[in-house]
Amino acid sequence: MNILLITDIFGVCESTDNIYRFLNNDGHHTHIVDPYQAVRHAFASEDDAYRAFISQCGHDTYFSLSAEAVSQTQPHMVIGFSAGANVAWRLSGNIKNNERHFVCFYPSRIYKYLQQDLMTVTDLVLPFYEPSFDVVEIANVLKNKDQVRQHITPFSHGFMNQRSVAYDSEAANFGLRVIKDAIEAHTASGIFIEQTKESS
């Protein structure tokens, strides 16, 4: 399966390396888009990472970069984290992506895009708390969208990334299981098989 990862504000780091290996060891072809053109940074804090993200990229530019990456790599699945999950959520509303599967880990700006029509199955992984919105309220708004599969977790925003103060190894393993389950579900749907035939 062809998979695109859209990183959080930390960009390419040891945690994206781990996910990349996890996927490639299972035989998938994984591509990564990040805000810094694959240049690695050792940010002292999440605040420093956020300032770098805003000054060097920003949310709308990141969306454009990711949309271009989707066009170039033609992934069967798109997986985004935090700022990358915001992008993935927005992309899931594009009719061109109606046969892709999206997995969005803790998208902090999802409240801005609740009214969009989702064109494909989207796994939404939420933390127990977000400072920018009420998690339960958002979950209630989205519960009637047939394409959304919600996972409300007891973990904090950023739990998949070792650079985050919220990192939790148990939570990260849970996240990998969500990804693996999403891959299995997409494969079982038959869409992946049809996409593969069309691209061959």
Q: Smallest Cα–Cα separation from 98: which of 183, 32, 186?
A: 186
* CATH fold label, 2-199: Rossmann fold (3.40.50)
CB-based contacts of 23, cutoff 8 Å, min separation 6 = 3, 30, 179
**Mean confidence (pLDDT) of the chain:** 93
pTM summary value: 0.93
Percent of residues in the chain assigned helix, strand, coil, to nearest 5: 45, 15, 40
User: What's the CA gap between 171 and 136, in Å, rounded?
Assistant: 20
pLDDT in tens, 106-128: 999 999 999 888 888 999 999 99
Which pair of tokens denotes residue 197? 């035939």
Whether 72 contacts 96, CB under 8 Å = no
Percent of the chain with pLDDT over 70: 94
Q: What is the mean pLDDT of residues 77-97?
A: 94
What 8-state DSSP symbol labels residue 133? B
Percent of the chain with pLDDT over 90: 86
Enumerate the domain spans of the chain.
Answer: 2-199
pLDDT for 191 equals 59
pLDDT in tens, 1-16: 999 999 999 999 999 9
Range scoring the smallest mean pLDDT among 67-71, 72-76, 97-101, 111-115: 97-101
Residue 182: CB atoms within 10 Å:
20
pLDDT of 182 higher than 90: yes
Q: How far apart are the first and last CA of the chain?
A: 13
pLDDT of 27 higher than 80: yes
Which pair of tokens denotes residue 94? 């594009």
Tell me the three state secondary structure of residue 38.
coil
pLDDT for 197 equals 43
pLDDT in tens, 29-68: 999 999 999 999 999 999 999 999 999 999 999 999 999 9
